[in-house]
């Protein structure tokens, strides 16, 4: 009796498993929905005056009302919050500002001119870098954390903060220092401690910093020792590599590392004397489609397998128009401005 019961039970289990497997194999799984990427671009529209603007995909939102000139220089998205760094002219001087979801917070009071070039959010803290004039008329490079400023230069000579990146507990700032000989040199600050990327013998600037793992990348330029023309450069852990040969003016404005690939956005004057927007991938340049007269690439962002770049292009007899390139294909952003330019791009 027991043996018969066990046999029947085994047959029932086998039948049930077969039925479930057959049902599972016959079912068509629902496709995983593709979440569209949202592209945020910070820049400027000229509408009688320069108006700080952020675009969500192709739709612009003015951050200032056009009473005074203003610029949106950097955009960063954290969760559902959109942060933009820039500055707006007041009745006296430029005021450094951060806009969070369109609402402005002033970081300086207008006593001295101030400019904000980069914003970064990490661990709930909002970091920004730029520079502010002091009573001696010198620009002081600064880092703001949640609105509180820390000077990273002593104010005896001009310094600027141009780009900021947070990695773990470390805060990196790329910028420039004006030395006693009147020459700009490229600098990298880590937690407030400066390291010179160039020796100060020729003009140079560090314009962008990106950290991936233990590698620190900085993009900028340095004047060629013979031609004097700016050479687009990329520093990796302090060691420079050249992206152009110095025969024509060029600069590297933005760097982004993804996996084993390093992307740099910038510009180079071509043989015809016109400026072209370039994207370098691992040192190899691609000219981005657009005008053959006057183009530039200001910022690069990599999301998955997609590479986004913003900047502007211009044709003879016209004005600059903001551009976004995705994997080399160009698109115009909407707006009513007579001219516009993209300074920063972030993809969510």
Other Cβ atoms closer than 10 A to 226: 8
Record the tokens describing residue 123, joined without a space.
């661990």
Q: How many residues does the chain have?
A: 348
Residue 15 lies in a domain: no
Which helix (H) or strand (E) segment holds residue 141: the answer is strand 139-145
- What is the distance between the alpha carbons of residues 89 and 76, in angstroms, rounded to a whole number? 22
**Looking at the 3D structure of the chain, how many domains does it have?**
1
Residue 149 lies in a domain: yes
What is the DSSP code (8-state) at residue 30?
A: P
So what's the pLDDT on residue 336? 67
Residue 4 lies in a domain: no
So what's the pLDDT on residue 29? 67
Q: Which is nearest to 251 in space by CA: 275, 235, 231, 234?
A: 231
Give the neighbor-by-neighbor strand order of the sheet with 193-196. Answer: 159-167, 170-178, 184-190, 193-196
Sign of the torsion formed by the C-alpha atoms of 227, 232, 321 and 92: negative
Which residue matches tokens 């991938």? 281
Q: Which is nearest to 25 in space by CA: 17, 33, 34, 14?
A: 17
| Chunked mean pLDDT (size 10), the chain, 348 residues | 39 39 51 85 96 97 98 99 99 98 99 99 99 98 99 98 99 96 96 98 99 99 98 99 98 99 98 95 96 89 98 85 94 81 98
Residue 9 lies in a domain: no
Q: Mapping DSSP to helix (H, G, I), strand (E, B) and coil, where does residue 152 land? A: coil
Residue 25 lies in a domain: no
Collect all residues with Cβ–Cβ distance below 8 Å to 338 and sequence separation of at least 6: 46, 47, 319
Whether the CB-CB separation of 41 and 60 falls below 8 Å is answered with: no
Record the tokens describing residue 271, joined without a space.
């043989």
Residue 277 lies in a domain: yes
Residue 18 lies in a domain: no
Residue 86 lies in a domain: yes
- What is the distance between the alpha carbons of residues 343 and 348, in angstroms, rounded to a whole number? 17
Q: How far is CA 124 from CA 70, 106, 127, 167, 246, in A?
A: 27, 19, 10, 14, 43
Helical H segments across the chain, by residue range: 2-26
Whether the CB-CB separation of 123 and 105 falls below 8 Å is answered with: no
Whether the CB-CB separation of 306 and 37 falls below 8 Å is answered with: yes
So what's the pLDDT on residue 337? 75
- What is the distance between the alpha carbons of residues 250 and 262, in angstroms, rounded to a whole number? 18
So what's the pLDDT on residue 5? 36
Residue 287 domain boundaries: 40-347
Q: Mapping DSSP to helix (H, G, I), strand (E, B) and coil, where does residue 241 land? A: strand
* Maximum alpha-carbon separation in the chain: 104
Q: Which is nearest to 194 in space by CA: 219, 172, 213, 211?
A: 172
So what's the pLDDT on residue 340? 95
- What is the distance between the alpha carbons of residues 163 and 344, in angstroms, rounded to a whole number? 11
Burial label, 259 (beta-carbon count in 10 A; 0-12, 13-18, 19+): exposed
So what's the pLDDT on residue 27? 54
Q: Which is nearest to 50 in space by CA: 339, 291, 319, 348?
A: 339
* CATH code of residue 104: 2.120.10.30
- What is the distance between the alpha carbons of residues 158 and 149, in angstroms, rounded to a whole number? 17
């Amino acid at each position: 009796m027991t043996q018969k019961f066990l046999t029947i039970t085994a047959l029932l289990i086998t039948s049930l498993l077969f039925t479930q497997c057959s049902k599972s194999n016959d079912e068509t799984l629902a496709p995983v929905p593709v979440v569209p990427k949202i592209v945020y671009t910070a820049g400027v529209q000229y509408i009688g005056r320069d108006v700080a603007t952020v675009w969500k995909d192709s739709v612009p939102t003015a951050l200032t009302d056009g009473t005074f000139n203003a610029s949106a220089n950097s955009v960063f998205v954290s969760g559902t919050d959109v942060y933009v760094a820039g500055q707006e002219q007041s009745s006296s001087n430029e005021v450094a500002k951060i806009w969070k979801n369109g609402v402005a917070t002033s970081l300086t009071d207008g006593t001295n001119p101030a400019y904000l070039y980069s914003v970064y959010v990490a661990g709930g803290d909002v970091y920004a870098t730029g520079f502010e004039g002091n009573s001696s008329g010198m620009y002081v490079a600064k880092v703001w954390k949640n609105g509180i400023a820390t000077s990273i230069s002593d104010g005896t000579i001009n310094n600027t903060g141009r780009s900021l990146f947070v990695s773990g507990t470390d805060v990196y700032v790329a910028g420039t220092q004006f030395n006693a000989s009147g020459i700009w040199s490229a600098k990298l600050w880590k937690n407030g401690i400066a390291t010179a990327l160039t020796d100060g013998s020729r003009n140079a600037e560090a314009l962008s910093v990106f950290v991936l793992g233990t590698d620190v990348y900085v993009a900028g330029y340095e004047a060629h020792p013979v031609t004097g023309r700016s050479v687009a450069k990329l520093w990796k852990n302090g060691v420079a590599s050249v992206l152009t040969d110095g025969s024509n003016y060029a600069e590297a404005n933005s760097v982004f590392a993804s996996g084993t690939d390093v992307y740099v956005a910038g510009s180079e004057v071509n043989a015809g004397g016109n400026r072209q927007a370039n994207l370098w991938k691992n040192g190899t340049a691609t000219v981005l489609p657009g005008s053959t007269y006057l183009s530039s690439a200001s910022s690069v962002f990599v999301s998955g397998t997609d590479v986004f770049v913003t900047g502007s292009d211009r044709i003879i007899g016209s004005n600059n128009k903001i551009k976004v390139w995705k994997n080399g294909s160009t698109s115009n952003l909407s707006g009513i401005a007579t001219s516009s330019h993209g300074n920063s791009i972030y993809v969510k």
